[in-house]
Amino acid sequence: MRKLGLGLVVALGLQASAAFAAAESTGAATAVRDGGHDFDFVIGDWKAHLRRRIDPKTGVTASEPGQGVWVDYYGISNHKKLLDTNANFEEFDVTDSKTHLRYKGQTLRMYNPASKQWSIYGVDLDKGETAPSALTGSFTGKAGTFYHQEERGGRIMLVRYVWTDKGPKSAVMVQSFSPDGGKTWDANWICELSR
C-alpha cells in the first residue's frame, strides 16, 4: 500500500498531536488529558439503525462520492469492556428488513496511554482476521475522530470515523471516505444507536 505524504500524515494526526506538543512545549506534559475512558459512554447493549450506502454492482460499501444507494439495516450493537481495562469489544448484527441481507461485524478498540490515542480494529470472527490497519485518533469533548487509509479500486482512500456521544440513550458513528487527501469527505455509513 502506498504511504501518505508527510503533510497529510501531520494533518490527520493534528488534533491529538497538537495537544500533546503544546503541553510538552509549556512543560505541562502531564496536563494532557487521559482519554482512557472516552468510549465508556458506548458500553452496554444498544438498538442499531445503520444507513449504509452500497454499490449496487458489488454489494459493498460505496467509496465513490455520491455513488451508490442507501440501504437501512436494523439490529443490535453490544459493547463490553475487556478484563476491566480501557479496551472494549463491539458485536454488531443488523439486517435489511426488505432484502433480509445481514451485515455483522466486530470491533476491538484499545487505548494507548503513552500516545493518548485510541486504535480501532475491525475484526472478522468468521474468517479469523483483523483489519490490516487500525483507525487511530482521540476525543475532543463528546466527539472522537479516527483516521486510516485503504486501497479501493486501485486508489488510496482516506477513511474517517466520527463517534459522537449524544447522551445516555443515543450515540452516532459516521464513516466517510476521502478520495482527495482529506479535502472533501463523503459519508457512506451512518450508524445511530439508541437504548
> How many domains would you assign to the chain?
1
How confident is the model at residue 59, as a pLDDT?
A: 79
Residue 136 lies in a domain: yes
Beta strands in 26-142 (DSSP E): 44-54, 69-81, 88-95, 102-112, 117-124, 129-130, 135-140
Q: Does residue 23 form part of some domain? A: no
In a domain, 26, yes or no: no
Residue 47 lies in domain: 35-194
The CATH number for 45's domain is: 2.40.128.20
Listed range (26-35, 66-75, 141-150) with the worst mean pLDDT: 26-35
pLDDT band, residue 175 (cuts 50/70/90): very high
pLDDT band at 135 (very low <50, low <70, confident <90, very high): very high
Tell me, yes or no, whether 51 lies in a domain.
yes
Query: Residue 31 — pLDDT band, cuts 50, 70, 90?
Result: low
The verdict on residue 29 lying in a domain is: no
Query: What pTM does this model have?
Result: 0.81
Q: Is residue 49 part of a domain?
A: yes
Q: Does a structural domain hold residue 130?
A: yes
Q: Which three cell numbers stand for residue 171?
A: 450515540
